[in-house]
A and B are shown apart, each in its own frame.
Chain A
Amino acid sequence: MEHLAYLDAGSGSLIVQAVVGGVAGAAVAARLYWRRLTARFRRRPADRP
């Protein structure tokens, strides 16, 4: 669904809420960063001309 929130929640303010949520939240944050990291490596070869 298209996101129509009138307020800019702030990307950093969204991510920090995972950490604030305790152990389960920290696991979500860890998965998020792991995926971002691996996505970077995955993209790199394809980025080359």
Chain B
Amino acid sequence: MTVPDTEVRGEPGSFRDPTNRVFYADGEVLRGLDARAAEDWRALAASDFFPPLVAAGKVCGTEPVAAARFPAPDGRPWAAVLRHERIPFVSHPYEWTFGMLRDAALLHLEVLRAALAAGFTIKDGSAYNLQWRGAHPVFIDVGSFEPARDGEPWAGYRQFCQTLLYPLLLTAHLGVDFQPWLRAQVDGIPAEQMRRLFTGARRLLPGVPTHVHLHSALQRRHAAASGSEVREQLRTAGYSRGLALATARRIERLIRRLRPRRVRSHWADYRDTCTYSAGDRAAKERFVAAALTAGPPPELVLDLGANDGRYARLAARHAGYVVAVEQDPAVADELYAALRAEEQPRVLPLVMDLADPSPGGGWRGAERAPFARRARADVVLALAVAHHLAIGRNVPLGQVVDQLADACAPGGRLLVEFVHPEDPMARRLLANRPAGLFGDYRAEVFDRLLAARCRIRRRVELPGGTRTLYEVVVGG
């Protein structure tokens, strides 16, 4: 989207640190800095550690621009303005898989260690400091670097625990998916809640005695203590930069050892039991490839119900960026591991239930944008997904069409597969539901609903005779 020259739009998620703000103008991502933050930026840009992190792609690309063009919200000029590289698709930690959250946490610690070694620190420790370029995490919060004060522990440790370490411990030690916990609490999981989950022998699991129990006990004990007094006491007791580095290394070692504990899921078996014939699969791939190569290459493709990422990878060969949405955390995590091994720069896997997409979160429900507002794709793939929503989740067929079409940018295209009620997979879903409940679930009804909302460009029956593929144009 292009914003007119004079229009400056603030990022609703950027307000907690009053020394700097992210905003958008001219289609660019910018960060305004006050005098103090500008001073920190100059020190950072001249440091030995920061430019190599940017060059390695671990911190988002950043360069100064003329500050006078962009007035601050109070009308006064910023002391400095930075331009950041644009992240292809903004995602939230509760949409990431276990492996993604772990790699994001490890990158955060790596950046922290590099900063500490060079006499800098990071003001906070939030999972929201990170974003993704395909299967590669990137640290985006350039405004949070500042020169370190000797003898001070990391101010972001509590936030790191709440938004990164604790969610990982939940899944690694208890086999509990962390995503709903992070989605429900923008500040993450407090130590006190974790303490109540890790009782009995679970107290002794790696990382739990110190980061959870001792941490929670000390928080309670020192709840009324002044932070600056405690800092001073720690400094005189001999807390050093070396100790801060040792702490970061220990947390890193702990996180490297964590593995998700979970049983094999239904969806992980899905592709093994899925009844595709080789002929159907080949025809489907030809259909998708033809749609993606017709016309200019799409910038953003959404693959809804991505499973093992077969079509997301196919799309990535013809598109700028692909977001592969999968509802099962274990399946999405396998996909992430595979994409990471392939060093895939253009496919972002996300965990999300399409029948319960991410809502707006945080302050005023606007700090973290809902998925529906972020999802505006040039091409949406909805292959073998509509029947799960319509039959599996009782969503009226017309609303399924609306949701899929809404994910397209104006003039965007939707590639959608309708699985006929006679298809073995649809029969299996229908067998679990009372007879007659889904009388409207018919090919001609779907066809009519699609035609009412979109312009049907192509319709192909798969050789098996029980599935139809559509390419439709939405609005525009």
Contacts and interface: CB of A to CB of B under 8 A. Distances in A.
Contact of B156 (A3, A7, A24): A7
A16 B123 contact: no
Interface in B25-40: 36
A24 B243 contact: yes
Contacts of A8: 227
Contacts of A32: 233-234, 237
B117 to A, nearest CB: 15
A13 B219 contact: yes
A28 B251 contact: no
B74 to A, nearest CB: 18
Given A6-B19, A10-B219, A32-B237, A17 B36 contact: no
Interface residues of A, number: 30
Main secondary structure of the interface of A (DSSP, over half): helix
B154 A17 contact: yes
Contact of B218 (A5, A7, A15, A31): A15
Main secondary structure of the interface of B (DSSP, over half): helix
Contacts of B156: 7, 9
A14 B230 contact: yes
Interface string B17-57: 11100000000000000001000000000000000000000
7 contacts: A11-B230, A12-B221, A14-B230, A17-B244, A28-B239, A31-B237, A31-B238
Interface of A: 1, 3-22, 24-25, 27-29, 31-32, 35-36
Given A7-B159, A13-B161, 14 more contacts: A3-B227, A10-B227, A11-B227, A12-B218, A12-B219, A13-B215, A13-B218, A14-B227, A16-B218, A17-B153, A18-B234, A20-B247, A20-B251, A29-B237
